[in-house]
Each structure stands twice: as structure tokens, then as C-alpha cells.
């Protein structure tokens, strides 16, 4: 698609060059001097070369041949003289002008790269979202070329009038030459103007505006002196005025033009730099928020571990003591082994997320310990799909819910009860359920269960935002259902 667009632009450039050359050639039929049409041909080739859409030699050739072709057509239909076909020689300066335009275009591209977005790599630009239209490299180069070339074109009649007043011979040619030199100068100065705004995103003050205006006025004086000197160096007749008088005339003409160009460049640099600062500030804010979220999540996990350790130690050790006192050393040994595995898992500084399979292994050991405490009152079942077991969830996410089911559901009733844990994958969501047939939520009075649920919801929110959910439901026939939904990630 991109190659097709490039080809289309190249075709349009050739068509534009042919049209420009033909129009200039037709105008040349009634021209009284050759300088004007030749200048137009060179300007058209210069613009075509600056675009970089086609090779400079081809651009100059297209414009020059089209101009000569207009003379051939006019001669063929009897609207022009055969001598007009000598305009074919305009191809040489046309090609030269196209190469000059390409060189100027390269300079503009380098100047555009000094803009804040111009310094970003294509990979970095691709990673940005909702970028302003001028951030794209071709757009920024086109915008800069429009500003610089537009200012140069606007300045031609102003400079021409000043040259006529000063008595400058061939004023039209000199005005064109001066504006081309001025364009080259502003291209070189663009990185300096951009650097003037570098690191500044604050509003402009009256002092900074006054200081900058004085700098531009000084620049205009240097500009005027340089142009007058270059005119003498190029052996262009200077006219009858003294050098100082000519400099003041040129200075008066270029002050508003230089001010306009500087303001346009400064505005482009200011807007681009301010937008970049806002984006960097947003990225830093997001990074700080993510860091704070991670620290808070880690703090909650540490608090959960601290809460679990005394529960494990007291319940498991007390159960082992009771079993030992009854002479059931095998059961006591099993409880202590389970306790060791539990403590190893809880105290392990592993990653923030673990496989559900590991978490379920921990839950099974936990329920083994609890079943040793309530051998006649607690049964449990774990049913998880193979794909679900590969999903990753926050470390110790299920434990508070399972603990609530045992301590506040099953332990609160006299008859036997059951805890069921299930997990399955539903599209891009991992669904987990912790269910018990103990006392319902309404009959629970212990505040620990509420803290465990609040802690779990907070961790889900920190890690998954709106994509992590915990639903607590009353179970039909008594008991509670805790439904967990998190993104399925392996």
C-alpha cells in the first residue's frame, strides 16, 4: 500500500512538472525577454527537486522538455515561430535548478529532524498513541518546508520594492537570489530556533518576548549586511546608493520578514515541544502510578503473609499435638509435613503471579491440615480444567476465600460440610469458584472474613483494574459462593 502511494505521488509530480513547463512555454510565446520565462522554469524545477518525489535530473528534464514542447506545438499550429524551439537549451539550467532544489530539500529534512518529534525513531513513534498530525516525519518536513518556502515567496515582492527604491539594476533577479539565500540561511538557523525552545514548555513572558524581538532585529541587521556584501562578491551591479544607505533599505525590508519567519518557526517548535513535555509528564505520572500500585500490592501481600503465619502455626501445631497425644503418630507426621509445605509456599518470595496449579497444590495442603482438625466434619473437592491450571493468578489469591469457607462456613455448623474449588477457562477469562455448604453470609459475625474479602478485591483492582472481579453470592440451600474472574494469562 505504501509503495502504491509513493508511485502515485511520483506520477502526480511528473504530471505537475509537465503542466508547469507547458504553461511557462505558452507564456513565453508572448514574452518580450527570455529572463522571465527562464526564471519561472528554474523555479518550477527547483520546487520539483525540493519535493524529492522524483530524481532531480528527471524533474528538470520534464519541466524543460514540456516548455520546449509548448513551442513545438505552437509552431506546428502556426501560433509561434520556429526560433522559439531554441528554448530547448533551458533544459540545462532547469536540471541544475532541480539539483539545487533537492539539495535544499535535504537541508530542510535535516532541519525538520531537529524538531522534538523528528528526533524520535520510527519504532518510538509507532509506540506513541494519538500523536498530533505534524509528528509524522513526512508531515513535519512538509510543514517546515511550507513555512520556510512560503516566507521566502511572500518576501519576494517586498524585497523587490526595496531594491527598486534603492535603484538596484535587474531588481527582479536580485530579489529572487536574495530570497534563495535567505531560505538557505533560515534552514541552517532552524535547529538554533528549535534549541531556543528546548526544555521550555511554560508560557511566554513579556521579558522573553522583548528579548527575542531584539535578537531578531539584530539578526535582520546581520542579514542585510550579508546580502549587500554577497551582492558585491557575486559581481552584481549595486546601483547608485551608498553601501550604508542600501543596507538600511534592506534592513527595513527584512525586519518584518525575518520576524514573521522566526515567529512561525518558534511557534512550531513551541507547540511540538509543549506537546512532547505533556506526553513525557503523562508517561512519568503513569510510571509512578504503576510503581505505587506495585508497592501497594506488595504491601498487601506482605500483610496477608503476616496474617497467615500465626494461623498456620497455631492451628497445624495444635492439631499435631492433639494427634500425638492420641497416639496417632502417622497423622501427626502428615500434618507437620503439610505444615512445612505450607510455610515454604507462603514464605517463598516468588513472582507476583503463580500458576493456578501451584496455588491449588497449596490449597490442597491447607485443606489437608484443616481436615485433620475436623476429620468428621470437613470434606473437600478440587476440580480444575487442565487449561485453567496453566493460567497465572496473584500469589495467595484463593487462600483467604478458602480459609473463610472453612473457618466461618464449615466450622460454624454442627453437621458435616464440604468445600469445593473449581476453575475453568471461558474465552480470555479464567473463572474460579470457592463454594461451601456451611452457614450463609448473613449468619457470619466474624470481621476477619470481611477483611479477607476486602483485601482480595483490592489486590484484584490493583493488578487487573475492571478486568478482575470477586462476586460473593448466597448459595441455595445454605452456604456461600465466591466467584473469581481474572484475565486468562499463561
Same domain for 368 and 282? no
Query: Are 100 and 214 within one domain?
Result: yes
Q: Which residues of the chain have pLDDT under 50?
A: 201, 299, 303, 306, 309, 445-448
Q: What is the pLDDT of residue 262?
A: 87
pLDDT at 483: 94
Asked if the structure places residue 312 within a domain, the reply is: no
Tell whether 308 is covered by a domain. no
Residue 327 covered by a domain: no
Query: Which residues are CB-contacts of 313 (< 8 A; sequence separation ≥ 6)?
Result: 339
In-domain check, residue 276: yes
Same domain, yes or no: 148 and 279 = yes
Among residues 239, 259, 288, the one where a domain terminates is 288
> How many CA atoms lie within 13 Å of 85's alpha carbon, on the beta-carbon side?
10
- The last residue of one of the domains, among 236, 260, 288, is 288
Q: Which domain holds residue 171?
A: 2-288
The CATH number of the domain holding residue 440 is 3.30.565.10
User: Partners of 27 in the beta sheet?
Assistant: none
**Beta-carbon contacts of residue 221 (< 8 Å; ≥ 6 apart):** 251
Query: Left if phi > 0, otherwise alpha if psi is -120 to 50, otherwise beta: which for 78?
Result: left
Q: Report DSSP letters for 260-310, one per residue.
A: HHHHHHHHHHHHHHHHHHHHHHHHHHHHHHHHHHHHHHHHHHHHHHHHHHH
3-state secondary structure of 427: coil
Residue 419 inside a domain? The answer is yes
Cα 437 to Cα 428: distance, rounded to the nearest angstrom: 29
Residues 378 and 231 in one domain: no
**128 shares a domain with 244:** yes
- Asked if residue 164 and residue 68 are part of one domain, the reply reads yes
Q: Is residue 334 part of a domain?
A: no
Q: Give yes or no: residues 144 and 48 share one domain.
A: yes
Element (H, E) at 362: helix 356-373
Task: Look at the chain and report how many structural domains it folds into.
Answer: 2
In whole angstroms, give the CA distance from residue 128 to residue 272. Answer: 14
367 in the same domain as 262: no
Is residue 386 a part of any domain in this protein? yes
Same domain, 116 and 234: yes
Cα–Cα dist 252/183, whole Å = 18
Residue 378 lies in a domain: yes
Chosen domain end from 288, 314, 330 = 288
Same domain, 42 and 169: yes
The verdict on 376 and 278 lying in the same domain is no
Residues 137 and 24 in one domain: yes
Q: What pLDDT score does 445 carry?
A: 46
Residue 476's pLDDT is 82
Per-residue pLDDT reduced to its tens digit, 46-60: 888 888 888 888 888
Amino acid at each position: 500500500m505504501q509503495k502504491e502511494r509513493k508511485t502515485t505521488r511520483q506520477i502526480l509530480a511528473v504530471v505537475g512538472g509537465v503542466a508547469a513547463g507547458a504553461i511557462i512555454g505558452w507564456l513565453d510565446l508572448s514574452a518580450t525577454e527570455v529572463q522571465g520565462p527562464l526564471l519561472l522554469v528554474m523555479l518550477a524545477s527547483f520546487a520539483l527537486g525540493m519535493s524529492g518525489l522524483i530524481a532531480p535530473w528527471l524533474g528538470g528534464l520534464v519541466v524543460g522538455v514540456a516548455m520546449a514542447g509548448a513551442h513545438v506545438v505552437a509552431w506546428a499550429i502556426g501560433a509561434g515561430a520556429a526560433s522559439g524551439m531554441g528554448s530547448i537549451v533551458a533544459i540545462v539550467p532547469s536540471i541544475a535548478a532541480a539539483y539545487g532544489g533537492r539539495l535544499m530539500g535535504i537541508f530542510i529534512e535535516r532541519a525538520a529532524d531537529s524538531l522534538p518529534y523528528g528526533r524520535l525513531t520510527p519504532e518510538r513513534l509507532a509506540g506513541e498513541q494519538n500523536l498530533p498530525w505534524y509528528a509524522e516525519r513526512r508531515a513535519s518536513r512538509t510543514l517546515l518546508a511550507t513555512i520556510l518556502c512560503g516566507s521566502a515567496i511572500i518576501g519576494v515582492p517586498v524585497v523587490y520594492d526595496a531594491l527598486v527604491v534603492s535603484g538596484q539594476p535587474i531588481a527582479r533577479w536580485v530579489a529572487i537570489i536574495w530570497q534563495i539565500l535567505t531560505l538557505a540561511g533560515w534552514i541552517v538557523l532552524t535547529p538554533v530556533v528549535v534549541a531556543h525552545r528546548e526544555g521550555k514548555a511554560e508560557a511566554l513572558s513579556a521579558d522573553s518576548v522583548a528579548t527575542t524581538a531584539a535578537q531578531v532585529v539584530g539578526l535582520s541587521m546581520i542579514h542585510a549586511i550579508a546580502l549587500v556584501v554577497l551582492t558585491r562578491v557575486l559581481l552584481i551591479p549595486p546601483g547608485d546608493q551608498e553601501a550604508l544607505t542600501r543596507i538600511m533599505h534592506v534592513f527595513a525590508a527584512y525586519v518584518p520578514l525575518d520576524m514573521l519567519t522566526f515567529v512561525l518557526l518558534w511557534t512550531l517548535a513551541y507547540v511540538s515541544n509543549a506537546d512532547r513535555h505533556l506526553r513525557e509528564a503523562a508517561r512519568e505520572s503513569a510510571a509512578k502510578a504503576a510503581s505505587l500500585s506495585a508497592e501497594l500490592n506488595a504491601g498487601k501481600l506482605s500483610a496477608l503473609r503476616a496474617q497467615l503465619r500465626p494461623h498456620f502455626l497455631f492451628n497445624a501445631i495444635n492439631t499435631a499435638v492433639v494427634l500425638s497425644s492420641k497416639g496417632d503418630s502417622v497423622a501427626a507426621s502428615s500434618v507437620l509435613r503439610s505444615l512445612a509445605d505450607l510455610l515454604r509456599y507462603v514464605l517463598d518470595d516468588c513472582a507476583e503471579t503463580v500458576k493456578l496449579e501451584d496455588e491449588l497444590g497449596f490449597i490442597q495442603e491447607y485443606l489437608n491440615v484443616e481436615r485433620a482438625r475436623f476429620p468428621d466434619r470437613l470434606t473437600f473437592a478440587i476440580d480444575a480444567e487442565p487449561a485453567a491450571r496453566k493460567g497465572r493468578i496473584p500469589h495467595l489469591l484463593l487462600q483467604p476465600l478458602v480459609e473463610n469457607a472453612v473457618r466461618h462456613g464449615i466450622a460454624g455448623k454442627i453437621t458435616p460440610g464440604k468445600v469445593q474449588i473449581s476453575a475453568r477457562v471461558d474465552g480470555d477469562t479464567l473463572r474460579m469458584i470457592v463454594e461451601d455448604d456451611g452457614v450463609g453470609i448473613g449468619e457470619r459475625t466474624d470481621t476477619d472474613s470481611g477483611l479477607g474479602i476486602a483485601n482480595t478485591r483490592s489486590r484484584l483492582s490493583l493488578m487487573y483494574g475492571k478486568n478482575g472481579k470477586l462476586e460473593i453470592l448466597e448459595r441455595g440451600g445454605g452456604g456461600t459462593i465466591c466467584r473469581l474472574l481474572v484475565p486468562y494469562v499463561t
